[in-house]
Structure 1
Amino acid sequence: NVTPDSCFDGRKYFDLEKAIRRAEQMVEEGADIIDVGGQSSRPGFSPVSEDEEKMRVLPVIRELSKRLKIPISCDTYRPGVARSAIEEGATIINDIYAMRYEKEMADVISTARCAVVLMHMQGTPETMQKNPQYSDVIGEIFSFFEERLEYALNCSIPFEKIIIDPGIGFGKLVEHNLEIIQRLREFTTLGRPIMLGVSRKMFLGRIAGNVGPEARMPPGIAACVAGYLKGAQLFRVHDVKEMRMALDAAAAIENYENTCS
């Protein structure tokens, strides 16, 4: 997060060299993708201008694409930022609006033949946590993905280039987030990889005794492992080393076969 106001690591990497060093450290710790974002999407955030967002993310993406051999993702919902990020070496666009903010986003992604993360969000970041309501949270998110997948295909975005993200904490109460993780496997029938982003989020603090962001790694590990066991394949995290170790251990247990019996 190349931002001054993200919920956990705001200002920590609001500097090019610090951001580059942190990304390289994350790769050493086991990251498979580096996601670069230039504005916070925490509840109630104030959007920055497109020029400011570009100023924050493009130098980082440009440098990382030279130094790293893993994919670079840009966390943006603006077509102009996405296009410039792709020109600098990004191969994934992580869009919290799922290409609904501006129709041009689909054209950018289709033309570049890059991958895209389509996330579910009720409302906007400014309003999403003001008493979100669902009659059927799983059914409504499922229908949302069906519509977005159809839209993407109609825009000539290859099916295999799409990742879905149920948007934990984006227009959801604690009980919604818990139900989504518990029933995550239902989304696997859509045929696309599921990304789960729970790291340091507020609902973890609520279920772990109202702790702050700095104390939310343990419940975050538990949520990621639970998500993995329910079918999630990608995890957007701050604490790469710890999450990688936990997920590798969970995978070893889940996939163990006793060849001696």
Structure 2
Amino acid sequence: MNAYYRPLVQSGALRPVTAQPLAGGALWFTHAERLSRSGEGAIVAAQDIPEADLDRLTRPRPPIAGVHMDAPVIMGILNITPDSFSDGGRHATVETALAGARDMLAQDVPILDVGGESTRPGSDAVDVETEIARTAPVIAAIRAETGALISIDTRKVAVAEAALQAGAGLVNDVSGFTHDPDLAPLCARTGVPVCIMHARGDPKTMQDNPIYEHVLLDVYDFLAGQIALLEAAGVPRARIIADPGIGFGKTLEHNLALLKGISLFHGLGCPVLLGASRKRFIGTLGRAAQAADRAPGSIAVALAAAAQGVQILRVHDVAETAQALRLWAAVR
């Protein structure tokens, strides 16, 4: 039976001599929760974690396209769609999208995530031509003004190729590279970093009674398997980001289990991305029916994830999250 190790993350300059650095950053751990599918969990000392597992947990994460991964960074969301669940239509033209990008970059955000297809629960697929027409001109305009890393949020190789030609430098696939078999070879050939996200089903049906045997371990195993496939296709682990896919084929209870155990995903040996901003479970628990009113809850979740060592926070409320992170870092 495979064992999984979830580091019990701590912070502070005074640390025991047995403390191990978490992913080469400022956080550390002396113990971990050992998990297995048999249900028999235990707390173990860091020195008792097998060498290969400990190495993946502690090894410094290389920069992603020049963006350092030794402290949490923000990925600003720029949806070029009329129907995204939170901000559909807000950035529907090149001019409004560029203005939104400028606002985010004023907060020293190093990554912008540009998407042209809504993946909210129940959404319909967008044809390739429409998705390219929405995203490529915006990416080119942003690239002409800034050196920020631009991520293309797409499942489709043609869209990704057009975005890379326009100046994108990262491919963020919500299907975890299961939708288009030609996308991984493109990323290997062009040498760009990628983000693998877990999703159960496609956006149209993903919330139709999602069931897991053990959501934390099921999502971990999926991401580990897709990382192995990408490595075999020629994308090295040093260029891979892992995202557990909050809200993508998960109930409220599934989302909470993933958030509580998110430090487990450091065992993949990749930077971890959290995309929980303004999602439905935040509205449910935070009593905010409208997505635009969910910034406080989104920031609370982001800070909880940062405290577990998550390296990338994908958010809508960039200025507010950036302020919160600065204060969190100052008092930590």
- Alpha-carbon distance between aligned partners in 2 of 1:167 and 1:248, rounded to the nearest angstrom: 25
The correspondence for 1:166, drawn from 232, 244, 261, is: 244
5+ residue gaps, structure 1, are 255-261
- Alpha-carbon distance between aligned partners in 2 of 1:129 and 1:248, rounded to the nearest angstrom: 35
Counterpart contact for 1:30–1:241, Cα < 8 Å: no
The amino acid that maps onto 1:125 is P
In the TM superposition, residue 251 of structure 1 has moved relative to its aligned partner by 2.3
- Alpha-carbon distance between aligned partners in 2 of 1:210 and 1:16, rounded to the nearest angstrom: 30
Instruction: Give the structure 2 partner of residue 241 of structure 1.
Output: 319
Instruction: Give the structure 2 partner of residue 17 of structure 1.
Output: 95
Q: Within 5 A, what are the aligned runs for 1:1-261?
A: 1-254=79-332
The amino acid that maps onto 1:223 is V
In the TM superposition, residue 61 of structure 1 has moved relative to its aligned partner by 0.6
**Structure 1 vs Structure 2: percent identity of aligned residues?**
37
5+ residue gaps, structure 2, are 1-78
Counterpart contact for 1:37–1:76, Cα < 8 Å: yes
The amino acid that maps onto 1:189 is G
Relative to total residues, which structure has the larger strand share, 1 or 2?
A: 2
* TM-score (normalizing by structure 1): 0.95
> Which runs of 4 or more aligned residues in structure 1 lie more than 3 Å from their structure 2 counterparts after TM superposition?
none
Counterpart contact for 2:114–2:139, Cα < 8 Å: yes
Q: CA RMSD in A?
A: 0.9
The amino acid that maps onto 1:141 is V
Tell which deviates more after alignment, 71-80 or 209-218.
Answer: 209-218
- Alpha-carbon distance between aligned partners in 2 of 1:131 and 1:209, rounded to the nearest angstrom: 23
The amino acid that maps onto 2:228 is E
Counterpart contact for 2:242–2:273, Cα < 8 Å: yes
In the TM superposition, residue 125 of structure 1 has moved relative to its aligned partner by 0.5
- Alpha-carbon distance between aligned partners in 1 of 2:96 and 2:288, rounded to the nearest angstrom: 31
In the TM superposition, residue 48 of structure 1 has moved relative to its aligned partner by 1.3
Q: Deviations over 1:74-99 (max 9, x none)?
A: 00000011011111110000100111
- Alpha-carbon distance between aligned partners in 2 of 1:214 and 1:69, rounded to the nearest angstrom: 29
Counterpart contact for 2:139–2:167, Cα < 8 Å: yes
* TM-score (normalizing by structure 2): 0.75
Counterpart contact for 1:181–1:230, Cα < 8 Å: no
Secondary structure of the corresponding residue to residue 177 of structure 2 = coil
Secondary structure of the corresponding residue to residue 315 of structure 2 = coil
- Alpha-carbon distance between aligned partners in 2 of 1:141 and 1:3, rounded to the nearest angstrom: 28
- Alpha-carbon distance between aligned partners in 1 of 2:133 and 2:313, rounded to the nearest angstrom: 26
- Alpha-carbon distance between aligned partners in 1 of 2:157 and 2:199, rounded to the nearest angstrom: 18
Relative to total residues, which structure has the larger helix share, 1 or 2?
A: 1
The amino acid that maps onto 2:217 is G
Counterpart contact for 2:241–2:271, Cα < 8 Å: yes
In the TM superposition, residue 210 of structure 1 has moved relative to its aligned partner by 4.9
Counterpart contact for 1:119–1:166, Cα < 8 Å: yes
Secondary structure of the corresponding residue to residue 235 of structure 1 = strand
Counterpart contact for 1:113–1:157, Cα < 8 Å: yes
